[in-house]
């Protein structure tokens, strides 16, 4: 799956040490299916050569508004008209100021000024020293650029080339790639607040042992990413998993089913959609030991009593906000057999409008999955695909169900 297939990106480079990251960003954009046309300012060429960017983009690099390769000598017009988006990475403080005031004394700034505002979006990835980034002038410029319709992708935090530490670093290439991909996704959940649970829970037996399952959390994390791409504010309540937080998503880490329940009840107060993807333990040890349980030489395991965990989905689905329609609840069922029968019964038992079923052993830990959507009208199969592709399809399904009827 190439998320940027068919997209033509003009990648602008301005002067800054972060130009070295632009090489990897260009490569990542091309790998994701985009064609990339690089345009560099003169100062950018002090940090990275046009030859490098030409090799990575497989296209000649432009740097002068007087480039004789253009028959009409209007590179600023031709390049901007061909683009699906202009991405400036890195974008220096000086270039931000130039964009704000409509400066046009080089090809890149001239091209940005000449772009058709209604169909060629401008995205910038600032890169500068922390003091420059925090300066009131830069922050005024950032705010006004956003007000003018520019998408400012934000900055990273960490060590800087000058030896200082703080905000102002250009985001990493993979972060920028995710932001560009997200930019082009339909914003079908704009204005919604989505609460997603993901991963397993861990129910302690003693300080070093516990009961859990094989859920990797990948499906839930993919749904959180897809919901953010669709324009929603997203809260992700995650059990113990080793996955990176999707860009733009607020993450709450929990361990046990009780922890997850408390986090969900709290977050559901502000949510408009709840997607319960987590594989929550049905039972927990009644009395976890304070110290590691030792073998006693009898050859017999310790006697363990269990109590049933509260049903997180049913609890949230029965809340006044869910019952009034202010919170749309979606459940997940990971089964080992008879998926349709079990998913249909679970949807009725939980009292939710939509239940998503899958075969757990066939998907736990995998990067792909197949889904069965069950609602009051019946069932719909979604064939096996990557979990991100399925997550986007599910988000679109949910969005369509939230639309008021046209009748």
Q: What is the CATH number of the domain that holds 158?
A: 3.40.50.1950
What integer pLDDT is reported at residue 337 of this predicted model?
77
Q: Do residue 115 and residue 69 come from a single domain?
A: yes
For residues 162 and 64, membership in a common domain is answered with yes
Q: Do 262 and 302 share a domain, yes or no?
A: yes
The two three-digit tokens of residue 174, written as one number: 């993979």
Domain-embedded: residue 349: yes
Verify that 168 and 277 share a domain, yes or no: no
Task: Name the domain boundary from 184, 207, 234.
Answer: 184
Pick from 125, 129, 152: nearest CA to 140: 152
Phi first, then psi: what are they for 398, rounded to 5°?
A: -65, -45
Burial 232-258 (b: 16+ CB within 10 A, else e): bbbbbbbbbbebeebbbbebbebbbbb
User: Which residue is associated with the tokens 């002067």?
Assistant: 15
Q: Are 143 and 205 in a shared domain?
A: no
Q: Of 354, 346, 397, 360, which Cα lies nearest the Cα of 378? A: 354
Q: Say what the pLDDT of residue 298 is.
A: 85
Q: Same domain for 275 and 361?
A: yes
Residue 1 lies in a domain: no
Residue with tokens 């993450």: 251
| Regions of the chain with pLDDT less than 70 | 1, 359-362, 404-407
One domain for residues 112 and 229: no
Does some domain include residue 407? no
The active-site residue out of 26, 112, 162, 264 is 162
Same domain assignment for residues 221 and 139: no
pLDDT for res 360: 66
Task: Give domain status of residue 137, yes or no.
Answer: yes
Query: Among residues 149, 184, 219, which one ends one of the domains?
Result: 184
Q: Is residue 264 part of a domain?
A: yes
DSSP per position, 17-45? TTHHHHHHHHHHHHHTT-EEEEEE-TTGG
Domain end: 153, 184, 215, which one? 184
Structural domains counted in the chain: 2
Q: What pLDDT shows up at residue 68?
A: 84
CA nearest to 252, candidates 230, 224, 231, 280: 224
Are residues 178 and 220 located together in one domain of the fold?
no
CATH number reported for the structural domain that contains residue 243 in this entry: 3.40.50.10300
Which range of residues forms the domain containing residue 346?
193-402
In a shared domain, residues 92 and 32:
yes
Residues 228 and 361 in one domain: yes
Is residue 68 assigned to a domain? yes
Same domain, 281 and 157: no
Other CB atoms within a 10 A radius of the CB of residue 151 amount to 17
Residue 59 lies in a domain: yes
Domain-located, residue 96: yes
pTM: 0.90
The tokens of 304 are what?
């363990």
For this structure, is 162 an active site residue?
yes
| pLDDT tens per residue across span 336-384 | 778 888 888 889 888 999 999 886 666 777 888 888 899 988 889 888 8
> What per-residue confidence (pLDDT) applies to 296?
83
pLDDT of residue 407: 39
């Amino acid at each position: 799956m190439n998320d940027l297939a068919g997209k033509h990106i003009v990648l602008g480079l301005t002067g800054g040490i972060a130009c070295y990251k632009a090489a990897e960003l260009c490569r990542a954009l091309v790998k994701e299916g985009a064609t990339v046309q690089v345009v560099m300012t003169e100062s950018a060429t002090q940090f990275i050569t046009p030859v490098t960017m030409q090799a990575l983009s497989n296209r000649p690099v432009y740097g002068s508004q007087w480039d004789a390769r253009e028959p009409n000598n209007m590179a600023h017009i031709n390049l901007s008209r061909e683009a699906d988006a202009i991405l400036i990475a890195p974008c220096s403080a000086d270039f931000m100021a130039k964009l704000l005031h409509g400066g046009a004394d080089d090809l890149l700034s001239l091209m940005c000024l000449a772009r058709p505002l209604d169909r060629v979006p401008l995205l910038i990835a600032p890169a500068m020293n922390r003091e420059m980034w925090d300066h009131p002038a830069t922050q005024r410029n950032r705010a006004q650029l956003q007000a003018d319709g520019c998408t400012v992708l934000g900055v990273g935090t960490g060590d800087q080339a000058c030896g200082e530490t703080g905000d102002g670093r250009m985001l990493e290439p993979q972060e920028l790639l995710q932001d560009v991909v997200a930019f082009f996704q339909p914003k079908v959940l704009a204005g919604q607040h989505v609460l997603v649970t993901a991963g397993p829970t861990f129910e302690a037996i003693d300080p070093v042992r516990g009961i859990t399952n094989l859920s990797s959390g990948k499906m839930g994390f993919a749904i959180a990413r897809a919901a953010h791409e669709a324009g929603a504010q997203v809260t992700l309540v995650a059990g113990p998993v080793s996955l990176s937080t999707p860009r733009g998503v607020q993450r709450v880490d929990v361990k046990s089913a009780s922890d997850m329940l408390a986090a969900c009840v709290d977050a559901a107060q502000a949510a408009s959609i709840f997607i319960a993807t987590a594989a929550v333990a049905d039972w927990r040890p009644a009395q976890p030991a304070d110290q590691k349980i030792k073998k006693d030489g009898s050859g017999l395991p310790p006697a363990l009593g269990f109590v049933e965990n509260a049903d997180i989905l049913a609890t949230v689905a029965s809340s006044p906000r869910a019952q009034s329609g202010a919170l749309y609840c979606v459940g997940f069922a990971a089964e080992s057999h008879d998926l349709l029968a079990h998913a249909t019964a679970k949807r009725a038992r939980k009292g939710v409008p939509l239940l998503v079923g899958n075969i757990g052993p066939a998907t736990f830990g995998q990067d792909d999955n197949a889904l069965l959507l069950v609602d009051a009208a019946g069932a719909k199969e979604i064939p096996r695909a990557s979990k991100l592709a399925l997550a986007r399809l599910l988000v679109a399904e949910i969005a369509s169900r939230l639309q008021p009827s046209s009748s």
